[in-house]
Structure 1
Amino acid sequence: MHTIRRWFAAAPAALLLALAAASAPAGDAPPPRAADEVFYQVFERSFRDSDGDRIGDLRGLTGKLDYIRDLGATSILLTPLQPSPYYHNYFATAFKAIEPAYGSLDDYFAFVRAAHARGLKVYLDEEFQYVAEGHPWWDNAICQPRAPYAGHLLWRDAQHCTAEPFLDRARWQGYDGRDIGIAMVDLHDPGVQRYFRELLLYWADPHGDGSGRDGVDGFRLDHMMDDLDRKGVDRDLFAGFWTPLFRALKARRPGLRLIAEQAGWGYGRDWLVRGHVDLVFAFPLRGALAKLDKRAIVDTLRATARDTPPGKDQIVFLENHDIDRYMSLVGGDPAKARAGAAIALLLKGEPLVYYGQELGMRGRPLKDVPVSDAIQIPMREAFRWQAELEAPGSAIWYRGDRPWWTGRYNRSHDGVSLEEEQADPDSLYHWYRTLLALRRARPELREGGQRILCDDASAVLCLLREDGARRTLLLVNLGAADARPALGAKLAGAAWADLLHGGADASPAALLHPMQVRILGTR
């Protein structure tokens, strides 16, 4: 990425250092309160390699926990760790196990302890509505209706020779060309329910004493549905499967948090109310942020607020492992990338940063390739620790002569690496650090209310976050021409400081250039 100095350049180094010092947790720090969380999502295979095999692993992740903490995140959300024939490790062949390429159970627990020692929470991604070919529940029950695990899966025939498949086909292609079967689990089977209750209790409370020591702080429930795949064969799951499971988890660990990836990617109210999860992902809001359209953002913010009951929350995000990288969506424009980041990180809700988003990593789904899990590799490329893509530690597990490597987005010395951006005070990386430090330093940005001002036809987005007398005002010109916020007398009588430029006196009514961001706070 080429560095471009803009009117809204990153905060001066002195301000950033002061904010970071105020916000960075010390070792052995207590975990953040729920409303204070900032999630950092890691695609494990692509993050950091520790042993030279080019596959990201748990030891590599553990060695970079200080980076995640110092960026300003409080919580790590992992993609699945269980063994699977697929590179993304969804569709497991074992549940109470760790993918061998990632390490061992000892490596996993060492990672959890190291994260907790730094005040970081840990969330596991769980997807157990299906099993892949090779799982003993399937292998040992094929054409054996009386086998011990036969009732754990759904079958299309009385002889149990044909399992009910994932979606509309029996086998799915992996990026390596293998066709692999995926079967649906019968989530109403008592043995299945007992197994997953014990499994999640193990990850949440490994010592079984209610302390939660070495346990995770929450779970992401992938592809959560009430009627799985809308087939009518695994239905009424909110009441029959999820609610009893959550009740058992909360009885053991009351502070455990449950996140639904709501199927359909809507506002998620049904999951928050009938599904009894704590958080859902703000998918419609992400769609509006992708457009950087003021009216779409304002309308979606209001709809999101209406569909989020008290005590529940939304995870606000620009990227995740399934969707286009934001820098690619905005055409590589650093100004738009900064504007989107400022809105997403300072809105009401709990923000999520997908690994490499803070560097402006790029990636869009592959085209003109067979339907397989390879399509999404471009959004899951190796985190750029150094300017040289193939430097030691780089998790380029996808290296080879296939389109996901030959047509890769990340190239050596392209300006999109931590090494290059740390040296540039105007980089996107430093912009993210500044925004996250501001969020940590100002309580109203974490726990305060939110008001939409300037609700007019102009392109200036005006959001006021307030907590008692503390107020922060975010102003972003999303248009193509200079514009002035139409605030009228709404903010009369307050003395405002420019939080990005040393706290100098500032006027909320000052002119904004296209894609300029201004963040003001009351003294």
Structure 2
Amino acid sequence: MKPARPLLAAFALLAALVGMFAQAATPPPPESQVYYQIFFRSFRDANGDHIGDLKGLASRLDYIRQLGATTILLTPLQPSPYYHNYFATEFKGIEPAYGTMDDYFAFIRAAHAQGLKVYLDQEFQYVAEGHPWWRDAVCKPESKYADYLLWKDAAHCEAEPFLNKAKWEGYDGRNIGIAMVNLSNPQVRQYFRDLLLYWTDPYGDGSGRDGVDGLRIDHMMDDLDHKGLQKNLFADFWTPIFQALKARRPALRILAEQADWGFGTAWLTDGHADAVFAFPLRGALVSLDKRQIVDTIRATDKATPAGKTQVIFLENHDVDRYMSEVHDDAAKARAGAAIALMLKGDPLIYYGQELGMRGMQPKNAGTSGGVPLTDAIGIPVREAFRWKADLDAAGSATWYRRNQHFWDARFNRSNDGVSLQEEESRPDSLYHWYVKLLALRHARPEIGGGEQRVLCDDGSAVLCVLREQGDRRTLLLVNLGRAAARPSLGSALPSGATWVDLLDNGKPGAADAMLEPMQVRILGSR
């Protein structure tokens, strides 16, 4: 696929501007990444069955790279009776609808050839009904897999369920069980150690050829589901596995989803993860309240040990789409994007976020008159990526059409203006805003790897964040209020500093100039 000409033009223009007022653009330092998270089933279909697949993803790697992402974060690929592919029936395998193991390794090679890293999402604290461990051991205490799962009875006929719910609705509408794996079993621990070594170093020679560059650990906990049945997992289960992985692949990174959605300090220290998700900051960015954002930035910095990272995000596969959170307000969507992409940490873009895709999970699920409480309630925030204006165009992964309620209630409609095809041709689109912001992030090393200071800590509505590295500075100014306002920077900035407007052709810019409501200004100085 040839790069889109508007996109190349945007990059060429920005590169020329950066050359006018800064040193030559350089890629972010190794420790800095821009994640692009893909809900796999919904991204790109290559064979006409409307299900996202490995060949479809491989065919669009140039889009991800040109957007400005450095790292692809995938939802699970293992076979599962659930559409999201969590709760596997096979750990060392690929969902048949997504392709084969050969397709998987071809995708890894193609991503690496484009300079993109790949992170796999791993969730193996549970298995779904149909997994060989469960199938072989149910009501058979003498099975070799009998102690691979936790059981509620001595006869091993009733498995310990996930979150105390015995059954969940699967992809085909059947109620399917989910059981807790016995993570205290030495054989189980060895199995998962070897499994992750396989994904990260398939040839076992330490080269990492065809291996992933990082892992996301889903629902990571020290006491699984707070049941008191699997305790001290940080020290006894996760840490030894992470040590074995890094002994083989020192540059490998572990991204933990902290199960409590808090600041994640314990996961970074006791759990020895390299990064966690900045959930509290995401809540603040949804509010677009200056005081809340300032307080949460500082709390996040305080909670993050040296050498560890927070992943800054507006959206992921478990929360509502940001454009819906801000009630389709394009100015607010642009302001939220600018803050998230300029803050200290590794930003994450959820597929379609850059287009302003909409989606909200039903708030009345499981109540009288509401939709059933099943995994399907997540479909509205996992709809097909919008490649074309026509939702049914070739390549569109509209696998959920079979689910009548969520097809009728979908948020994406043909020719609604929210597609790559429609937004590429509009210079003022949200898509081009993301391209510009990400190009700035890569061009300004202080954004990717510098320190940050919150300025304008007053009662005004103007958020002021200074990113610094050596004598390089980038200043983010966002008016989060409803009236025009001027930043109150006082003596916080170096005297005599010369600023240029990074969003306005590198023209001279004043740090104390008036800002309209939701206006974003990004200034650069050396």
TM-score with structure 1 length normalisation?
Answer: 0.95
Q: In structure 2, which of residues 266, 269, 272 is the aligned counterpart of residue 270 of structure 1?
A: 266
**Which residue in 2 is equivalent to 1:490?**
492
CA distance in 2, matches of 1:18, 1:457: 37
Cα distance change of structure 1 residues 65 and 268 upon mapping to structure 2, 3 Å threshold: same
Cα distance change of structure 1 residues 210 and 14 upon mapping to structure 2, 3 Å threshold: closer
Q: In structure 2, which of residues 125, 141, 161 is the aligned counterpart of residue 165 of structure 1?
A: 161
CA distance in 1, matches of 2:54, 2:8: 33
| 3-state SS, counterpart of residue 463 of structure 1 | strand
Q: In structure 1, which of residues 467, 470, 489 is the aligned counterpart of residue 469 of structure 2?
A: 467
**Which residue in 1 is equivalent to 2:401?**
399
**Which residue in 1 is equivalent to 2:221?**
225
CA distance in 2, matches of 1:242, 1:116: 27
**Which residue in 1 is equivalent to 2:13?**
18
Q: In structure 2, which of residues 415, 418, 438 is the aligned counterpart of residue 416 of structure 1?
A: 418
Contact 1:498–1:521 under 8 Å retained in 2: yes
CA distance in 2, matches of 1:483, 1:33: 35
How far has the Cα of 1:17 moved from its partner? 2.5
Contact 1:154–1:184 under 8 Å retained in 2: yes
1:259 paired with 2:255, answer yes
Q: Deviations over 1:393-422 (max 9, x none)?
A: 000001146121001100000000000000
CA distance in 2, matches of 1:34, 1:132: 38
Q: In structure 1, which of residues 98, 102, 108 is the aligned counterpart of residue 98 of structure 2?
A: 102
Matches within 5 A, 1:44-55: 44-55=40-51
**Which residue in 2 is equivalent to 1:504?**
507
CA distance in 2, matches of 1:149, 1:472: 57
How far has the Cα of 1:13 moved from its partner? 9.0
| 3-state SS, counterpart of residue 505 of structure 1 | coil
**Which residue in 2 is equivalent to 1:7?**
none
How far has the Cα of 1:489 moved from its partner? 2.2
CA distance in 2, matches of 1:414, 1:498: 33
| 3-state SS, counterpart of residue 258 of structure 1 | strand
Q: Quick check: 123-132 or 167-176, which moved more? A: 167-176
Q: In structure 2, which of residues 188, 193, 213 is the aligned counterpart of residue 192 of structure 1?
A: 188
CA distance in 1, matches of 2:15, 2:135: 53
How far has the Cα of 1:34 moved from its partner? 3.8
Amino acid at match of 2:189: Q
**Which residue in 2 is equivalent to 1:361?**
357
Contact 1:460–1:484 under 8 Å retained in 2: yes
How far has the Cα of 1:171 moved from its partner? 0.7
Q: In structure 2, which of residues 231, 234, 239 is the aligned counterpart of residue 238 of structure 1?
A: 234
Contact 1:22–1:441 under 8 Å retained in 2: no
Contact 2:32–2:345 under 8 Å retained in 1: no
Contact 1:479–1:515 under 8 Å retained in 2: yes
Number of aligned positions between the proteins: 507
Amino acid at match of 1:322: D
**Which residue in 1 is equivalent to 2:290?**
294
Q: Deviations over 1:428-478 (max 9, x none)?
A: 000000000000000000000000000000000000000011000000000
Amino acid at match of 2:13: A
Q: Deviations over 1:53-95 (max 9, x none)?
A: 0000000000000000000000000000000000000000000
TM-score with structure 2 length normalisation?
Answer: 0.94
CA distance in 2, matches of 1:189, 1:22: 59
**Which residue in 1 is equivalent to 2:22?**
none
CA distance in 1, matches of 2:385, 2:218: 23
| 3-state SS, counterpart of residue 80 of structure 2 | coil
Contact 2:35–2:73 under 8 Å retained in 1: yes
Contact 2:50–2:396 under 8 Å retained in 1: yes
Amino acid at match of 1:17: A
Q: In structure 1, which of residues 375, 380, 383 is the aligned counterpart of residue 382 of structure 2?
A: 380
How far has the Cα of 1:175 moved from its partner? 5.2
How far has the Cα of 1:42 moved from its partner? 0.5
Q: Deviations over 1:297-350 (max 9, x none)?
A: 000011101110000000000000000000000000000000000000010000
**Which residue in 1 is equivalent to 2:458?**
456
CA distance in 2, matches of 1:189, 1:318: 38
Q: What stretches of structure 1 of length at least 5 have no aligned partner?
A: 1-10, 24-29
Amino acid at match of 2:308: K
CA distance in 2, matches of 1:257, 1:493: 41
Contact 1:91–1:130 under 8 Å retained in 2: yes
Cα distance change of structure 1 residues 124 and 33 upon mapping to structure 2, 3 Å threshold: farther
**Which residue in 1 is equivalent to 2:35?**
39
CA distance in 2, matches of 1:314, 1:343: 14
Amino acid at match of 2:517: P
1:445 paired with 2:447, answer yes
Matches within 5 A, 1:103-182: 103-174=99-170, 176-182=172-178
How far has the Cα of 1:16 moved from its partner? 4.2
How far has the Cα of 1:177 moved from its partner? 2.3
Contact 1:322–1:376 under 8 Å retained in 2: yes
Amino acid at match of 1:19: L
Q: Deviations over 1:119-151 (max 9, x none)?
A: 100000000000000000000000111101111
**Which residue in 1 is equivalent to 2:431?**
429
| 3-state SS, counterpart of residue 430 of structure 1 | helix
Q: What stretches of structure 2 of length at least 5 have no aligned partner?
A: 1-5, 19-25, 365-369
CA distance in 1, matches of 2:171, 2:154: 33
How far has the Cα of 1:12 moved from its partner? 12
| 3-state SS, counterpart of residue 162 of structure 2 | coil
CA distance in 2, matches of 1:413, 1:493: 50
Q: In structure 2, which of residues 183, 201, 204 is the aligned counterpart of residue 205 of structure 1?
A: 201
Q: State the percentage of identical aligned residues.
A: 69
